[in-house]
Amino acid sequence: MLENISSVKVSGGWHKQYTHSAVSTHCTMRFAVFLPPGASESNKVPVLYWLSGLTCTDENFMQKAGAFKKAAELGIAIVAPDTSPRGDNVPNEDSYDFAQGAGFYVNATQAPYNTHFNMYDYVVNELPALIEQHFPVTSTKAISGHSMGGHGALMIALKNPQDYVSASAFSPIVNPINCPWGVKAFTGYLGADKTTWAQYDSCKLMAKAEQSNYLPMLVSQGDADNFLDEQLKPQNLVAVAKQKDYPLTLEMQTGYDHSYFFISSFIDQHLVFHHQYLSA
Amino acid sequence: MLENISSVKVSGGWHKQYTHSAVSTHCTMRFAVFLPPGASESNKVPVLYWLSGLTCTDENFMQKAGAFKKAAELGIAIVAPDTSPRGDNVPNEDSYDFAQGAGFYVNATQAPYNTHFNMYDYVVNELPALIEQHFPVTSTKAISGHSMGGHGALMIALKNPQDYVSASAFSPIVNPINCPWGVKAFTGYLGADKTTWAQYDSCKLMAKAEQSNYLPMLVSQGDADNFLDEQLKPQNLVAVAKQKDYPLTLEMQTGYDHSYFFISSFIDQHLVFHHQYLSA
């Protein structure tokens, strides 16, 4: 059962938040949806899924990205899940980059995380099914995200190219098996055996992608981002894309950092990018 | 001395926060400024002052209004002060609508508030002088705000029509002497003698405005705003404007509430409105 917990008009459409009891994560999950003006059962619209970064909830993008004006104009719904399971029964740590607020969009195999931390299943399967059942949307989907959520968006698109028409990311962690944030999260959720990690690493996934499954992919990265060299490493994905002739565009943006001010500066461009494919 | 505490590129321009020791309020004040691309000593730009509402700081508008893309395009700087003095030495109450976070843009006359709560002087005199000294801006100013800050913007423009080219507000408190928020604040800051209140009431000020000092004024109000009937009462200002033939446009927007989602939906329209006069 979906419980509607807020409903606010914005840019001619509606921003709404819901909670529901999730099967994948065995807890109550919250998500937010933006419905553009005119979306109805007789006028269903495609969906852009947005995955947020470390410490975020469903609210950061919806409040700070400034995406609604362009999404309303283009007729795109936006769905933003939370970044992890939450609640008193969900394991947590006093850490911004692990456990609650940092689900990393994987299915955990290690206790005590494996009961709840199944954000991969939640985002790939459970949430879209729920959205398509309860909202005036088509099954045409694109996916985007920021930082940890950029990792989630690219990784999920590369693993499920049949489910999405396009993928993009802001400041994504493209090679989690080779950066401190990813190594910490994957060790905790997947265990010390690194052979289990590659299935969630965008560089590894792109390296074995088949050309018939290629998706248009756009990455925006600020060159004043404090996390660029140690955590994000977009050049690692660009190297794979070159080798594979994968249709990845990386746009380095001079002077921008890792914040939502960067996202708000280029979100319209990402929406227009996805709209080409969502409306095709 | 201005201390720069953040500097982030956004929409081709810059968002910067500063602190300084303020004379008006006898405490350290924080403010934020957006500088559009190309603003420089040889290309000075006009300024829109933005006054926020109850509980807000300099950050709410800057993070949630989605104003920068249009402000960059139009070449307008935006300055957002905090909504009150703050600090351990500043009197406070366990209340969202009085004392810290709720300065109401007046000069307090009542102890213990009269030392610090001089937001009127700060916004009208001290802050613009500082801005014009330290940033690449002209002295051409417009003013806008939300809720308590909408009261501040309209009231300050009506009291100082020579200082601003235009005024606007979202969901403003237009008649504070006749609503619970205003009565509580004015009693606390100005005392029980209501004859001292009219100088800060937009309806009273407009009623005695001289035609040669009229300013173009735009008010946007959502009709699903929970505070509309008890606190905001825009019809009271419209009645005065009609009597006085004052150039006030009130736009009632169907279905919108009191939140920043409303502001983000119409901020571009307000920026275009001010730009007509700022660039004249």
Whether residues B261 and A9 touch (CB distance < 8 A) is answered with yes
pLDDT of B280 higher than 90: no
Selecting from A9, A69, A257 the residue whose C-beta is nearest the C-beta of B8 gives A257
Report the percentage of chain B scoring pLDDT > 90: 99
Whether residues A265 and B224 touch (CB distance < 8 A) is answered with no
Q: What is the mean pLDDT of residues B259-280?
A: 97
Interface test with A, best of B6, B7, B8, B270 (most A CBs within 10 A): B8
Q: What is the mean pLDDT of residues B107-114?
A: 98
How far apart are the C-alpha atoms of B225 and B232, rounded to whole Å?
A: 9
Whether residues B264 and A222 touch (CB distance < 8 A) is answered with no
Please give, rounded to a whole number of angstroms, the shortest distance from the CA of B189 to a CA of chain A: 33
- What's the pLDDT score for residue B178? 98
Q: Which of A147, A168, A171, A220 is catalytic?
A: A147
Q: What is the mean pLDDT of chain A?
A: 98
Q: What is the mean pLDDT of chain B?
A: 98
Q: What is the rounded radius of gyration, in angstroms, for the C-alpha atoms of chain A?
A: 17
- What's the pLDDT score for residue B59? 98
Could you read off the pLDDT of B36-61 as tens digits, one per residue? 999 999 999 999 999 999 999 999 99
Q: What is the mean pLDDT of residues B194-213?
A: 98
Would you say B274 and B144 are in contact if contact means Cβ atoms under 8 Å apart?
Answer: yes
Residue B133 C-alpha from the chain's centroid: 21
Would you say B256 and A9 are in contact if contact means Cβ atoms under 8 Å apart?
Answer: yes
Q: What is the mean pLDDT of residues B131-137?
A: 98
pTM as predicted? 0.96
pLDDT of A73 higher than 90: yes
What's the number of CA atoms in the CB half-sphere (13 Å) around residue B116?
A: 21
- What's the pLDDT score for residue A104? 98
Q: What is the mean pLDDT of residues A1-17?
A: 97
- What's the pLDDT score for residue B254? 98
- What's the pLDDT score for residue A280? 86
pLDDT of A273 higher than 90: yes
Whether residues B260 and A11 touch (CB distance < 8 A) is answered with no
Would you say B80 and B53 are in contact if contact means Cβ atoms under 8 Å apart?
Answer: no
How far apart are the C-alpha atoms of B28 and A277, rounded to whole Å?
A: 51
What is the ipTM metric for this complex? 0.94
- Unique residue bearing structure tokens 């994000």: A232
Known active-site residue B258: yes
- What's the pLDDT score for residue A1? 85
pLDDT of B117 higher than 90: yes
Q: Which of B15, B258, B270, B274 is catalytic?
A: B258
Q: Which of A202, A204, A197 is nearest to A183 (CA)?
A: A197
Selecting from A64, A69, A257 the residue whose C-beta is nearest the C-beta of B63 gives A64
The residue ranges of every structural domain in chain A are: 1-277
Q: Which of B218, B122, B206 is nearest to B167 (CA)?
A: B218
Q: What is the mean pLDDT of residues A146-166?
A: 98
CATH fold of A1-277, please? Rossmann fold (3.40.50)
Taking the alpha carbons of A249, A255, A258, A263 in that order, is the dihedral positive or negative? negative
- What's the pLDDT score for residue A42? 97
Q: How many other C-beta atoms are found inside a 10 Å radius of the C-beta of residue A242? A: 10
Whether residues B264 and A66 touch (CB distance < 8 A) is answered with yes
Provide the total of helices (H) and of strands (E) in chain A, helices listed first.
9, 9
B258 contacts: CB under 8 Å, gap ≥ 6:
B147, B171, B222, B225, B226, B227
Could you read off the pLDDT of B220-230 as tens digits, one per residue? 999 999 999 99
pLDDT of B147 higher than 90: yes
List B16's β-bridge partners, or say none. Answer: B7, B33
Q: Which two tokens stand for residue A178?
A: 């080779």
Whether residues A9 and B268 touch (CB distance < 8 A) is answered with no
**Model confidence at A61, in pLDDT bands (50, 70, 90)?**
very high
Q: How far is CA A217 from CA A106, A150, A214, A220, B16, in A?
A: 21, 11, 9, 10, 32
- What's the pLDDT score for residue A220? 98
Q: Which two tokens stand for residue B26?
A: 């006898």
Q: Which residue of A has its CA nearest to B266?
A: A11
**Model confidence at B181, in pLDDT bands (50, 70, 90)?**
very high
Q: Which of B24, B52, B147, B166 is catalytic?
A: B147
Selecting from A8, A222, A259 the residue whose C-beta is nearest the C-beta of B261 gives A8
Could you read off the pLDDT of B92-102 as tens digits, one per residue? 999 999 999 99
Would you say B48 and B42 are in contact if contact means Cβ atoms under 8 Å apart?
Answer: no
pLDDT of B1 higher than 90: no
Three-state DSSP class for residue A252: strand
